[in-house]
Amino acid sequence: MGETIMERNVIVESLPQAPVETREVEIVERKGIGHPDSVSDGIAESVSRALSRYYIENYGRILHHNTDQVEVVGGQSQPEFGGGTVLEPVYILLSGRATTTVNNHRIPYRSIAIKAASDFLKERFDTINIESDVMIDCRIGHGSVDLRSLYDTRKLLSNDTSFGVGFAPFSETENAVLRAENYINSDLKKIVPSLGYDVKVMGFRSRDTINLTIAAAMIGKYLKDKEDYINQKEKARELIQKFVQKDSKREIKVFINTADNPSENIYYLTVTGLSMENGDDGSVGRGNRVTGLITPYRPMSMEAAAGKNPVTHVGKLYNLAAMKIAEQSIKESGGDVKEIHVRIVSQIGRPIDDPHVANIQIIGSEEATARKYQNDFKRIANDWLGNLNRITNMLVSGEINTF
C-alpha cells in the first residue's frame, strides 16, 4: 500500500503586481552581527540551542522552552584615539521560559543559559572582556501550565496562533546589503582592523543606482588620530565599493559614517567596536527577520523568531519553512516566475504539519500562471510542511539562521 498524503489547505494564486526588482524605488536594511538587536537575537538563539541539546542528550527530545526575551542594556565607555576605556559594563538580561524540572530532577538551566550567552559573545567578539565588560543575568522561569500541556513533541501541536512569511528570490539590492555587511565583518577586518563589529547597512535603490549607507563602529586602539580615522574609513569605503560592485549590474554608491563631523571632532569611535558599550540598547525581534534583512517592500512577519522553541513554535518554524518553500519554488520554476510570496498561518492546538492555510502567490511572465505551477508548488509546500523536523534539526545544529 502507498503512503497516504495529507490533504493540506495549500492555495496557489497569481499576484498581479510588478516584481520588486522592476520598481523605481527599493529600500533594504541589515543590522550586522554586532548591532545590539542582533546581539540579543544571537544570544536568545544560542540559549535555545544549548537547552535543546541538553534536553535531547538527557531526555531524548526537546522540552518546552522559549528564550526569546533577551535585553541588552548599554554600558558606558570613554573611547579615544589610540585606546579608550569601558567605564561601566553592558547588562544582558536573559528571560523567557523553560522546562526546569523533570521527574523531580532539577535541570541546571540557568548555568546552561549563562554559558551559552557567554560563549556566543566570546566566539564572535574578540574585542570585549567577558569578565569585566559584560554582566549576564539569567531570569528564565518555568513555562505556563496551559502551554506545557500543548507542548508535546509526540503530538506536534502548534502552541500559538501565528503566521510565517517568506519570499524569493533576493533582489540585487538585498544581495548587495547582505554581501556588504558580511564582507565588513569577515575578510575586510583583516585589511582594516579598525572596523568594529557593530555595522548597519541601509540600501536605497533609485532606478538603477543602489546607495549603501553604512554605519560602522571604529575601534580607537587601531587609530592614531583623526587623520588616520578618515584615511581608514575611506580605505574601507573603497574596498566595500569594489567588493559589492563586481557582482552588480547596477551602479553602487557607498557612504560610511555620514554623521561624522571632523570640524566638531565628532566620529563614530568606540573602545570595543560595539555601540552597546556606550548606551545603545537591544531587544530580541527588533532587528532582522529570518531573511537576515529588514525589507519594507516585501511581505514580512513581525514575529521574533530567535529563541523560540524549534519544535512546535510556528512563529519560528513557519517563517523558515515559508522561505524554504519560496526558494525551492523559484528554483524549480526555471525563470518563469520572477517573484514568489509564501504565507503560512497556524491555529493553536492544530497539528503543526497541517496549517490553517498555506498561501503561495506568484509574480511572473504571462506564461507563468498559477494553474501551470500549482501542482509543483503544492508538492514543494507539502514536502516542507510534512517534514518540519528538518528545520528543527538545522536549528539545533546551527545550520540555519534566524536573523
Encoded amino acid at 288, one letter: N
CA–CA distance, 315 with 308 (Å, rounded to integer): 8
Is 290 a domain residue? yes
Find the CATH number of the domain harbouring 252: 3.30.300.340
Is 148 a domain residue? no
Is 4 a domain residue? no
> Which of 281, 300, 332 is where one domain is finished?
281
CA–CA distance, 292 with 203 (Å, rounded to integer): 14
Q: How far is CA 394 from CA 112, 117, 355, in A?
A: 20, 20, 21
Is 402 a domain residue? no
pTM, whole model, 2 decimals?
Answer: 0.93
Find the CATH number of the domain harbouring 95: 3.30.300.10
User: Which residues share a beta bridge with 98?
Assistant: 65, 142
pLDDT of residue 283: 98
Is 100 a domain residue? yes
User: What is 186-224 written as a DSSP string?
Assistant: THHHHH-TTEEEEEEEEEEEETTEEEEEEEEEEEGGG--
End-to-end CA distance of the chain: 43
- Indicate if 188 and 270 belong to the same structural domain: yes
CA–CA distance, 203 with 161 (Å, rounded to integer): 33
Is 155 a domain residue? no
Q: How far is CA 125 from CA 198, 270, 274, 309, in A?
A: 10, 14, 9, 26
pLDDT of residue 226: 96
Query: In which residue are the cell numbers 523568531 written?
Result: 305
Beta strand pairing call for 357-364 and 134-138: unpaired
Torsional class of 82: left (φ above 0), alpha (ψ -120 to 50), beta (otherwise): left
Burial of 176 (0-12, 13-18, 19+ CB in 10 A): buried
Using alpha carbons only, give the angle 137, 142, 145 rounded to the nearest 5 degrees: 160
Is 24 a domain residue? no
- Indicate if 72 and 53 belong to the same structural domain: yes
Is 154 a domain residue? no
Q: How far is Cα of residue 131 from the mean position of the Cα atoms in its chain?
A: 27
Query: In which residue are the cell numbers 557612504 written?
Result: 255
pLDDT of residue 104: 80
- Indicate if 369 and 316 belong to the same structural domain: yes
CA–CA distance, 214 with 35 (Å, rounded to integer): 12
- Indicate if 295 and 390 belong to the same structural domain: yes
**Virtual torsion, Cα 50, 52, 58, 60, nearest 10 deg:** -150
- Which residue range forms the structural domain that includes residue 101? 36-143
Q: How far is CA 252 from CA 87, 176, 191, 368, in A?
A: 39, 9, 21, 31
- Indicate if 290 and 269 belong to the same structural domain: no
> Which of 233, 255, 281 is where one domain is finished?
281
Grid cell for residue 19: 516584481
Encoded amino acid at 143, one letter: G
Domain count, the chain: 3
- Indicate if 367 and 235 belong to the same structural domain: no
User: Which residues share a beta bridge with 359?
Assistant: 11, 343
Q: Enumerate residue ranges in the chain where pLDDT < 70.
A: 1-5, 143-155
- Indicate if 189 and 49 belong to the same structural domain: no
CA–CA distance, 325 with 332 (Å, rounded to integer): 11
**Is residue 68 within 8 Å of residue 306, measured between CB atoms?**
yes
Grid cell for residue 3: 503512503
pLDDT of residue 5: 60
- Indicate if 165 and 197 belong to the same structural domain: no
pLDDT of residue 383: 97
CA–CA distance, 191 with 209 (Å, rounded to integer): 27
Residues with Cβ < 8 Å from 187, sequence gap 6 or more?
none
CA–CA distance, 303 with 284 (Å, rounded to integer): 10
Give the Cβ contact number of residue 258 at 10 Å.
10
